[in-house]
Amino acid sequence: MTPKNTEPLLRVENLRVEVPSRRGALTAVDDVSFDIAPGEVLGVVGESGAGKSLTGAAIIGLLEPPLRIAGGSITLSGRRIDTLPYEAMRRVRGKEIGVIFQDPLTSLNPLHTVGHQLVETVRTHLDMGSVEARGRALSLLGEVGIAAAEERIDHYPHQFSGGMRQRVVIALAIAASPRLIIADEPTTALDVSVQAQIIALLKRLGRDHGTAIMLVTHDMGVIAETAHRVAVMYAGRIVEIGSVRKIIDRPSHPYTAGLMASIPRTSGPRGRLQQIDGTMPRLNAIPEGCPFNPRCPKRLSRCRHDRPDLIPSGDADVACWLYLPVSEPTHA
Amino acid sequence: MVAFTIQRLLQSVLVMLTVALIAFALFNYVGDPISNIVGQDTTLADRDHLRAELGLNDSFIAQFARFVSHAAQGNFGLSYQQARPVSQIILEKMPATLELSFTAALLALIVGVPMGIYAGLHRHSWVSQTMLTVSLIGVSLPTFLIGILLILIFAVVLGWLPSFGRGAVVHIGWWTTGLLTAEGLRAIILPAITLALFQMTLIMRLVRAEMIEVLRTDYIKFARARGLTSRAINFGHALKNTLVPVITITGLQLGSIIAFAVITETVFQWPGMGLMFIQAVSFADIPVMATYLVLVGFFFVVINLVVDLLYYVVDPRLRIEREASANV
Ligand SMILES: Nc1ncnc2c1ncn2[C@@H]1O[C@H](COP(=O)(O)OP(=O)(O)OP(=O)(O)O)[C@@H](O)[C@H]1O
Ligand code: SF4
Ligand SMILES: [Mg+2]
């Protein structure tokens, strides 16, 4: 899907995130590579604990110690950002990468008005006086669909509903017109009735401003409606990445196939990830070979010993011994 | 805001009436007020006469009402020991205690809050660990011991600072202050440190704990993700959110500082209300004791009131919900 002639906005290569533990370092994100093109929406799915949030946190340089990037590189518009010193990376956050977290109820400081928080963010990144910044705050509120912005701007977060607060959070994320937004489950904490509105808003903003979005979600319906491409994560690795139609309609990896089987086709593409038999291994118990092998219905004998890499296979990249570029005996 | 203030004021009045009742009971039912006033050889008839004259035969309610109305006008009767109006004695002693208490509270805040912020922001540094360990000593040593140790080191061994009294004072109207003379300033150092130490460690530990707690919240993470500067995050967002509990505790502590000044004043022979109270106890000078009780109660109530109002200024959730419900 990504046209080869455009340079990627974000390039993540062989990213590895580790947590020190008593018995050596555990790998929470393992050899993850992907690109996001300008204006592209990349959906990231996978069961809880797959490493989706940690990947996002690593990109914005906010892994909480003792978590740390142990390898790989992250490049934004051709500039390496994973090695930037704290102060330089701080300028990237908010300015070039906007972030939206899961819970709008707790993302805003209860003791400051939304206007204060908007103006503060605008003035941190853009060279504006307080009057000009307030003007921008007002137009941001208007843009994310908050009516009577003139009045609402001086209200405190607790005076807004959950959906409205998430709109404020989005306004904060786009305050300095970043080219990339990382949205980590932006609708999970919201009422079902407002989830669609928030997603529609994100989609519109992305389109209007050409903003790329990395959208982490458990909601396959949202993926189907919003994403251009999808990355499927399992046990800290990307197991399959490709265009949204390919991933949803013709999944290659047995794990992706299991995820997609849970979407009720008859009632449209909306549906939640359903548990595949068994559970994802914990970090300290990731099996040898293919991490998915204990749960895999199509397991081969080599799956228990050899770890498959993510390699191109047709119109997607897949990490599974079933999709070898060169033919090898597949049954044992 | 107005409704909130009125409600708090009414509560305060209620508390003061209760304190007054206790003081009044102390006055009238601990010992016999008549024998406290008259000599051994007064006749029974004279005693009865005096009793009637003082209104001691009136109903309980009437007597209590009279006590409250006198107290409200600052009339607390005569000291048994000094045969002078209690109010006069109190007015002489109050400046010393208030000066000592506020100096101690200020010291505790000025030292405790920054130390707490530092320890909260750099909680793994050895400086923070050391402060924490040392503060444990501050919390666990009894006040009089700290006072005596300070006297031993700085007054007896080093001879740098005076060990007792208030030094030279300056009169400003009825108020006397030791803060305007070098001697007075030197004299207040040791007692102020003694009185402040406990509160200082308390405030430091509280601010530290609150900072750590707040720094873990989602809105701080989001503030970081927005690229705000560390200064904006630590002081504009984190510190402000720690203020509510800090104001509450510090305010309440100011009340205890005034109350606990009794010990410090005794150790340093500081001529304040605490020392006066101890002397009153040993002479069974009930009017002085009762007045001290009412006054300390009064300070507590006023401080509580101020704390509540500050609380209300800092936290918009409280403010706006109250306004909303007041408008209904
Ligand atoms: N601070 C931490 N210390 C140790 N391990 C952590 C920490 N944060 C996350 N992990 C581990 O890293 C793994 C990946 O976590 P991550 O939060 O990225 O999962 P996720 O895919 O976002 O899951 P979810 O869908 O539940 O949000 C999990 O196994 C988690 O237990
Ligand atoms: S590599 Fe083997 S175990 Fe892993 S998904 Fe493919 S077939 Fe299943
Ligand atoms: Mg997550």
Report the CATH number at residue B151. Answer: 1.10.3720.10
Q: Please indicate whether, in this complex, the C-beta atoms of B224 and A93 are within 8 angstroms of each other.
A: yes
| B65 assigned to some structural domain | no
- Tens-place pLDDT, residues B127-175: 888 888 888 877 788 888 888 888 888 888 887 888 777 877 778 877 8
Q: Per-residue confidence at B36, pLDDT binned at 50, 70, 90? A: low
Number of domains in chain B: 1
Residue B224 pLDDT: 93
Residue B138 pLDDT: 73
What residue of A is the nearest CA neighbor of B232?
Answer: A120
Q: Please indicate whether, in this complex, the C-beta atoms of B222 and A62 are within 8 angstroms of each other.
A: no
Residue type present at position B313: V
Tell me: pLDDT of A268 over 70.
no
Interface test with A, best of B123, B219, B243, B247 (most A CBs within 10 A): B219
Residues with Cβ within 8 Å of B312's Cβ and at least 6 positions away in sequence, in order, are B1, B4, B318, B319, B322
Residue A272 pLDDT: 46
DSSP state string for A265-276: STT-S--B--PP
Of A145, A151, A166, give the one whose Cα is nearest residue A113.
Answer: A151
Q: Please indicate whether, in this complex, the C-beta atoms of B232 and A124 are within 8 angstroms of each other.
A: yes
Region for residue A235 given its phi and psi (left: phi exceeds 0; alpha: psi -120 to 50; beta: otherwise): left
Ligand 1 site, residue A53, Cβ cutoff 6 A? yes
Collect all residues of chain B within an 8 Å Cβ-Cβ radius of residue A121: 226-228
In this structure, what DSSP letter does residue A71 have? E
- Range with top average pLDDT, A75-79, B14-18, B85-89, B136-140: A75-79
Average pLDDT of span A304-318 = 89
Residues with Cβ within 8 Å of B256's Cβ and at least 6 positions away in sequence, in order, are B199
Taking CA atoms, B264 is separated from B153, B194, B276, in Å, by 16, 7, 12
What residue of A is the nearest CA neighbor of B214?
Answer: A109
Tell me: pLDDT of A232 over 70.
yes
- Tens-place pLDDT, residues B191-250: 888 888 888 888 888 899 888 889 889 999 999 999 999 999 998 899 888 887 787 788
Measured distance CA(A224)–CA(A277) in Å, rounded:
24
Average pLDDT of span A251-280 = 68
Tell me: pLDDT of A304 over 80.
yes
- Range with top average pLDDT, A146-155, B249-258, B300-309: A146-155
CB B139 within 8 A of CB B198: yes
Tell me: pLDDT of A264 over 60.
no
φ, ψ for residue A34, nearest 5 deg: -165, 165
Tell me: pLDDT of A40 over 50.
yes
Residue A119 pLDDT: 95
Tell me: pLDDT of A266 over 80.
no
Beta strands in chain A (DSSP E): 10-21, 24-36, 41-45, 68-76, 79-80, 97-100, 180-184, 212-216, 229-234, 237-243, 311-313, 316-318
The Cβ of residue A314 has, within 10 Å, a number of other Cβ atoms equal to 11
Q: Per-residue confidence at B177, pLDDT binned at 50, 70, 90? A: confident
Question: Token digits for B94?
Answer: 């109050």
Say which residue the tokens 């529609």 belong to: A200
On average, the pLDDT of chain B sits at 82
Lowest mean pLDDT among A111-115, A120-124, A163-167, A263-267: A263-267
* DSSP helix, strand, coil percent of chain A (3-state; round to 5): 35, 25, 45
Ligand 2 site, residue A321, Cβ cutoff 6 A? yes
Residue A180 pLDDT: 95
Task: Tell me the residue range of the domain where B280 lies.
Answer: 90-284
Residue A269 pLDDT: 45
| B38 assigned to some structural domain | no
Residue B68 pLDDT: 85
Q: Please indicate whether, in this complex, the C-beta atoms of B241 and A109 are within 8 angstroms of each other.
A: yes
The Cβ of residue A223 has, within 10 Å, a number of other Cβ atoms equal to 23
Collect all residues of chain A within an 8 Å Cβ-Cβ radius of residue B218: 101, 103, 106-107
Q: Per-residue confidence at A3, pLDDT binned at 50, 70, 90? A: very low
Q: Ligand 2: distance of its center to the CA of A29 in Å?
A: 19
Residue type present at position A39: G
Q: Do you know the residue count of chain B?
A: 328
Taking CA atoms, A226 is separated from A89, A167, A201, B121, B323, in Å, by 29, 18, 11, 40, 42
Ligand positioned closest to the Cα atom of A255: 2
Residue A28 pLDDT: 92
Tell me: pLDDT of A202 over 80.
yes
Measured distance CA(B226)–CA(B266) in Å, rounded:
55
Alpha helices in A76-181 (DSSP H): 86-92, 104-107, 114-125, 130-143, 149-152, 162-173
Average pLDDT of span A134-142 = 93
Measured distance CA(B222)–CA(B232) in Å, rounded:
13
Of B300, B107, B272, give the one whose Cα is nearest residue B198.
Answer: B107
Helix or strand (DSSP H, E) at B197: helix B182-215
Residue B154 pLDDT: 86
Lowest mean pLDDT among A70-74, A229-233, B54-58: B54-58
Q: Ligand 1: distance of its center to the CA of B282 in Å?
A: 67
What residue of A is the nearest CA neighbor of B242?
Answer: A111
| B328 assigned to some structural domain | no
In this structure, what DSSP letter does residue A219 have? B
Measured distance CA(A50)–CA(B154) in Å, rounded:
63
On average, the pLDDT of chain A sits at 88
| B49 assigned to some structural domain | no
Q: Answer with the residue of higher pLDDT: A136 or A265.
A: A136
Tell me: pLDDT of A209 over 50.
yes
If one residue of A18, A52, A60, A239 were mutated to test the ligand 1 pocket, choosing by the most ligand atoms within 8 A of its CB, it would be A52
- Tens-place pLDDT, residues A235-246: 999 999 999 999
Ligand 1 site, residue A65, Cβ cutoff 6 A? no
| B3 assigned to some structural domain | no
| B105 assigned to some structural domain | yes
Residue B1 pLDDT: 67
Tell me: pLDDT of A231 over 60.
yes
Closest partner residue to B228 (CB to CB) among A62, A120, A156 is A120
Q: Ligand 3: distance of its center to the CA of A237 in Å?
A: 14
Tell me: pLDDT of A115 over 70.
yes
Helix or strand (DSSP H, E) at B149: helix B143-150
| B10 assigned to some structural domain | no
Measured distance CA(A296)–CA(A281) in Å, rounded:
13
Q: Please indicate whether, in this complex, the C-beta atoms of A156 and B316 are within 8 angstroms of each other.
A: yes
Measured distance CA(A130)–CA(B179) in Å, rounded:
43
Tell me: pLDDT of A314 over 50.
yes
| B94 assigned to some structural domain | yes
Question: Token digits for B67?
Answer: 């006590």
Tell me: pLDDT of A284 over 90.
no
pTM as predicted: 0.80
**Strand pairing category for A237-243 and A229-234:** antiparallel
Lowest mean pLDDT among A210-214, B4-8, B39-43, B79-83: B39-43
* DSSP helix, strand, coil percent of chain B (3-state; round to 5): 75, 0, 20
Q: Answer with the residue of higher pLDDT: B174 or A157.
A: A157
Q: Do you know the residue count of chain A?
A: 332
